[in-house]
C-alpha cells in the first residue's frame, strides 16, 4: 500500500509539472476590444469633452469650433488613465499629477509630451470610425503641433 501511495505521489508530481510546463508555452487569450469601432455621427457631439467611451474604449471625443478629434486616454508619463475634471477644464493623471488641457496638451507634472490622438474618419453611412491602432503623436523636439494636423488625426467641423 505504501508503494502505491509513493508511486501515485511521484506520478502526480510529474503530471502536474508537465501540465504547468505545457500551460506556460500555450498562448493565453485575453479579451481586448477591437481597435477599430464606430462612435456615432459628428452631430451627436456638443462642444467640449465627451467621456462616454472612456471606460469601454479608453478614449475621449473632443469637439471644438474647428475640429473633432479623439484623444487616447493614456498618460504619456507612465501609461495611467487620466481623469477628466470638467470643473477645472483639464485632464489630471491620478498616478503622478500630470495635467493636460482640454486638447490633451501637457502643462503640468512629469508628462513629457501631449497625449496621443487616435485616427478618425467618416464611413459611408456618415458615422465616425475610430482606429486606436493608429495614433498621432506630438514628440518632444518636433514643431507644434506635431502630427496633430495630419489628415486622419481630426475631422473638420
Report if residue 24 sits inside a domain.
no
If one counts the domains in the chain, the total is: 1
Range of the structural domain that residue 45 is part of = 36-156
Residue reference for cell 483639464: 90
In a 13 Å sphere around the CA of 2, the CA atoms on its Cβ side amount to 0
**So what's the pLDDT on residue 126?**
93
Q: What is the pLDDT of residues 110-130, one digit of tens each?
A: 999 999 999 999 999 999 999
Phi, psi of 132 (to 5 degrees): -80, -5
In this prediction, what percent of the chain has a pLDDT beyond 90? 67
For 20-63, the pLDDT digits (tens) are 999 888 877 777 778 999 999 999 999 999 999 988 899 999 99
Asked if the structure places residue 42 within a domain, the reply is yes
pTM for this predicted structure:
0.77
**CATH number of the domain within which 57 lies:** 2.102.10.10
Amino acid at each position: 500500500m505504501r508503494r502505491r501511495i509513493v508511486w501515485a505521489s511521484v506520478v502526480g508530481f510529474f503530471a502536474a509539472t508537465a501540465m504547468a510546463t505545457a500551460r506556460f508555452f500555450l498562448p493565453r487569450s485575453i479579451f481586448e476590444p477591437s481597435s477599430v469601432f464606430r462612435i456615432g455621427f459628428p452631430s451627436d457631439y456638443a462642444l467640449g469633452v465627451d467621456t462616454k467611451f472612456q471606460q469601454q474604449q479608453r478614449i475621449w471625443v473632443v469637439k471644438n469650433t474647428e475640429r473633432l478629434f479623439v484623444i487616447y486616454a493614456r498618460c504619456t508619463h507612465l501609461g495611467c488613465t487620466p481623469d477628466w475634471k470638467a470643473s477645472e477644464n483639464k485632464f489630471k493623471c491620478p498616478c503622478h499629477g500630470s495635467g493636460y488641457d482640454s486638447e490633451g496638451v501637457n502643462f503640468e507634472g512629469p508628462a513629457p509630451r501631449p497625449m496621443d490622438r487616435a485616427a478618425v474618419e467618416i464611413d459611408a453611412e456618415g458615422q465616425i470610425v475610430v482606429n486606436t491602432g493608429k495614433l498621432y503623436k506630438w514628440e518632444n523636439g518636433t514643431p507644434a503641433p506635431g502630427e496633430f494636423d495630419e489628415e486622419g488625426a481630426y475631422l473638420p467641423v
